[in-house]
């Protein structure tokens, strides 16, 4: 259960949602029939070693509710207070997301990131409000809202969730604690408008490292997540903390040093706009290059080609992030095979 009541959720978030949060993708047994506990625990330890303060427990790799609860429980146990455990509300329906949130909360999740189901097609903005409020009202966790082009809400408002609606949700729903502000991306207008309107009330996150670090010269972000920051090793936690402490010279030195990896990430395109999907196989490979478990994923999954993997490998090498000497075949086995 969360360490706060709904009335205390925003105060808790303001105090504790600090630093950066990465993403943990489930590890499986070699026959893909069960979860791999040692692989999952390895990744949680590695996320803490890299300097992250939170990790998203990814729900988008063909997990049952029971498996997701187990995944969350192992992650929370291994984190042991070193990392905040973030529930990803990305299941099939509102009802399933509510049940998953309750299970994740009981297993040790600290707060939730709200997604919207692929079959959710609101015909007006009021339906987005109703779905969001219904989820928040039904769960005890604090909730991070997530305006982003992924949901196809841009047909209703160009900011993907209207700023006025975000204001209404923050006003009406006490356990809205944060906003992961990617509305209207690749423009930064959605992020900056949300920050201008609501940063005095809830935590505002920019999860794009290429944007948030330079912006911190002017905007005092306290938190950035969730994303595939593990690809950059310790770089994102270090430059974010330097920028937060006012040492922009150090932050930008790190920023420029990882440009080869940043360019490789962009060239490979782990987010595929034509499908509206994130290539979680490539995200898992990115983490593996920096010591995370790797290992096979269940179908359906997007694939990782040798061309893509080689680009990502050369990016971390050229940036001095990791030696990345192991063959690609080792990734599909994992560091802790079961």
The predicted-structure confidence for 14-46, as pLDDT tens digits, reads as follows 999 999 999 999 999 999 999 999 999 999 999
- Residue 7 gets which letter from DSSP? G
Q: What is the pLDDT of residue 325?
A: 94
Question: What are 265-318's pLDDT values in tens digits?
Answer: 999 988 887 778 899 999 999 999 999 999 999 999 999 999 999 999 999 999
- 291 occurs within a structural domain: no
- Residue 201 gets which letter from DSSP? T
On average, the pLDDT of the chain sits at 97
What CA–CA distance (Å, rounded) separates 33 from 88?
Answer: 22
- Write the CATH number for 12: 3.20.20.70
Helix axes 259-268, 248-257, angle to 10 degrees: 50
Q: What is the pLDDT of residue 1?
A: 79
- 332 occurs within a structural domain: no
Question: What are 61-114's pLDDT values in tens digits?
Answer: 999 999 999 999 999 999 999 999 999 999 999 999 999 999 999 999 999 999
- 22 occurs within a structural domain: yes
Looking at the 3D structure of the chain, how many domains does it have?
Answer: 1
- 314 occurs within a structural domain: no
- 214 occurs within a structural domain: yes
Identify the CA nearest to 217 among candidates 191, 182, 245. Answer: 245
Question: What are 125-167's pLDDT values in tens digits?
Answer: 999 999 999 999 999 999 999 999 999 999 999 999 999 999 9
Look at residue 332 and tell me whether its pLDDT is greater than 90. Answer: yes
Whether the bond into 300 is cis, omega within 30 of 0:
yes
pTM score: 0.98
Residue 75 belongs to what domain range?
Answer: 6-268
- 60 occurs within a structural domain: yes
Q: What is the pLDDT of residue 319?
A: 98
Handedness of CA 52, 57, 60, 62 (dihedral sign): positive
What CA–CA distance (Å, rounded) separates 293 from 287?
Answer: 8
Q: What is the pLDDT of residue 277?
A: 85
Q: What is the pLDDT of residue 272?
A: 80
- 276 occurs within a structural domain: no
Question: What are 242-252's pLDDT values in tens digits?
Answer: 999 999 999 99
Q: What is the pLDDT of residue 151?
A: 96
Q: What is the pLDDT of residue 322?
A: 97
Identify the CA nearest to 289 among candidates 12, 46, 88, 57. Answer: 46
Q: What is the pLDDT of residue 182?
A: 97
- 331 occurs within a structural domain: no
Residue 66: is it exposed, middle or buried by C-beta count within 10 angstroms (0-12/13-18/19+)?
Answer: exposed
């Amino acid at each position: 259960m969360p360490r706060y009541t709904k009335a205390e959720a925003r105060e808790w978030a303001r105090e504790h949602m600090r630093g950066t949060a990465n993403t943990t993708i489930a590890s499986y047994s070699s026959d893909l029939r069960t979860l791999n506990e040692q692989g999952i625990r390895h990744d949680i330890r590695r996320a803490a070693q890299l300097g992250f303060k939170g990790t998203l427990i990814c729900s988008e790799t063909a997990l049952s509710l029971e498996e997701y609860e187990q995944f969350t429980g192992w992650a929370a146990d291994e984190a042991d207070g070193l990392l905040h455990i973030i529930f990803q509300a990305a299941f099939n329906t509102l009802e399933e997301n509510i049940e998953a949130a309750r299970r994740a909360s009981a297993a040790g999740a600290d707060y939730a990131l709200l997604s919207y189901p692929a079959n959710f097609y609101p015909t007006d903005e009021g339906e987005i409000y109703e779905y969001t409020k219904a989820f928040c009202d039904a769960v005890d966790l604090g909730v991070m809202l997530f305006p982003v082009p992924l949901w196809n809400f841009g047909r209703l408002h160009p900011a993907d969730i209207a700023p006025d609606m975000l204001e209404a949700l923050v006003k009406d729903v006490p356990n809205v604690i944060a906003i992961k502000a990617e509305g209207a991306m690749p423009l930064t207008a959605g992020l900056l408008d949300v920050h201008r309107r609501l940063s005095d009330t809830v935590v505002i996150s920019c999860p794009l490292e290429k944007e948030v670090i330079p912006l911190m010269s002017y905007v005092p972000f306290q938190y950035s997540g969730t994303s595939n920051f593990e690809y950059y090793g310790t770089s994102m936690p270090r430059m974010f903390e330097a920028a937060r402490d006012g040492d922009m010279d150090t932050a930008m030195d790190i920023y420029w040093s990882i440009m080869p990896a940043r360019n490789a990430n962009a060239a490979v395109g782990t987010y595929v706009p034509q499908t509206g999907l994130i290539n979680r196989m490539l995200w898992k490979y990115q983490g593996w290059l920096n010591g995370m478990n790797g290992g096979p994923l269940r179908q359906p999954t997007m694939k990782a080609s040798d061309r893509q993997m080689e680009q990502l490998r050369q990016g971390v090498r050229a940036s001095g992030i990791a030696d990345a000497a192991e063959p690609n075949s080792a990734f599909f086995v994992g560091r802790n095979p079961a």
